[in-house]
Amino acid sequence: MKRDFINFYELSKDEVLEIIEYAQKLKKEPFTDQTLKNKSIGLIFMKPSTRTRLSFEVGVYQMGGQPLYITGSSTQISRGEDIKDTGRVMARYLDGLVIRTYSHKEVEELAQYFDKPVINALTDYLHPCQILADLQTIQERFGKVEGIKVAFVGDGNNVANTWLIAGGLVGFNVSVATPEGYEPSGKAVYKALKLAKETKAEIRITNDPVEAVKDADVIYTDVWVSMGQEGEKEKKKAFEGFSVNKELLRHASKNAIVMHCLPAHKGEEISEDVFEQFADVIFDEAENRLHAQKALMSLLFK
């Protein structure tokens, strides 16, 4: 039976921890896993990308496979072909699909008609591969992920949604601080709280960044205006006071780290001095996209 990774909770807690552990091994031995040998993996990108594209292309190559980069404009999707028809056609050629796009529902529909693994490389609702790499980074820094506290400060976007669900699933505390009206998806909050009943994770939503970061081990942020929302310039006014800076760090744990999924708009969601202070963490995090995604593909394609 084929497995997809569209929603973070499609993995079990144990599988998430196994992926993190295996990713650390692959980081040291990049060509040891040849699960994708003689396989062709389609990479559909409806949105521009740096880290996601490079990490998947290199990862598929290192695992012995052939990555095929496919822009949305180069397919009949851009001319209105049904997603289900695209999925059925691509299934005749490809062994797997990675897709970075806008609509989460379209990815779920694509997976229904593509009879091999489909990986969500980003939708407007979730960014699950990013959080796998982030958890690997946290494991490297703290020696664990369970029981830590992650404070997300900024827009309640796809990254914030995924952090909430991951915390509930794996068993670490997540506090999300956004301005009023920019809270995370209610669907994501509901799912996180449901999962947290099993793991005893604490899930909190607030409009006070100081409250969110109190005693946090990890302070996390992302751009205030996501890709495709560039016209919402007035949105930035609502985020005054939600910048991750030295003042905000004073309220976190003494050994707290700062993370950012990149690209960063320095001077907005994060101050340049804080970004440079934690640059080694942030770029380890970016590198770990490669290793965590390889560990994920190893699980899905075996």
Among 4, 104, 129, 130, the active-site one is 130
Distance CA 260, CA 107 (A): 25
Spot the catalytic one: 129, 260, 261, 293: 261
Looking at 4, 33, 53, 100, which residue is catalytic? 100
Q: Is 100 a catalytic residue?
A: yes
From the list 51, 53, 260, 289, the catalytic residue is 289
Q: Which residues pair with 205 in a beta bridge?
A: 176
Which residue is catalytic, options 222, 260, 291, 293? 222
Residue 129 designated active-site: no
Residue 222 known to be catalytic: yes
Closest CA to 300 of 37, 14, 5: 5
Positive/negative CA dihedral, 49, 189, 285, 21: negative
Catalytic residue flag (residue 261): yes
Q: Which of 51, 53, 104, 127 is catalytic?
A: 127
Give residue for tokens 């497995």: 3
Task: Establish whether 289 is a catalytic residue.
Answer: yes
Give a three-class secondary structure readout of the chain.
CCCCECCHHHCCHHHHHHHHHHHHHHHHCCCCCCCCCCCEEEEEECCCCCHHHHHHHHHHHHCCCEEEEEEHHHCHHHHCCCHHHHHHHHCCCCCEEEEECCCHHHHHHHHHHCCCCEEEEECCCCCHHHHHHHHHHHHHHHCCCCCCEEEEECCCCHHHHHHHHHHHHHCCEEEEECCCCCCCCHHHHHHHHHHHHHHCCCEEEECCHHHHHCCCCEEEECCCCCCCCCCCHHHHHHHCCCCECHHHHCCCCCCCEEEECCCCCECCCECHHHHHHCHHHHHHHHHHHHHHHHHHHHHHHC
* Omega prior to 263 cis, within 30 of 0: yes
User: Among all residues, which ones are annotated catalytic?
Assistant: 100, 127, 130, 222, 261, 289
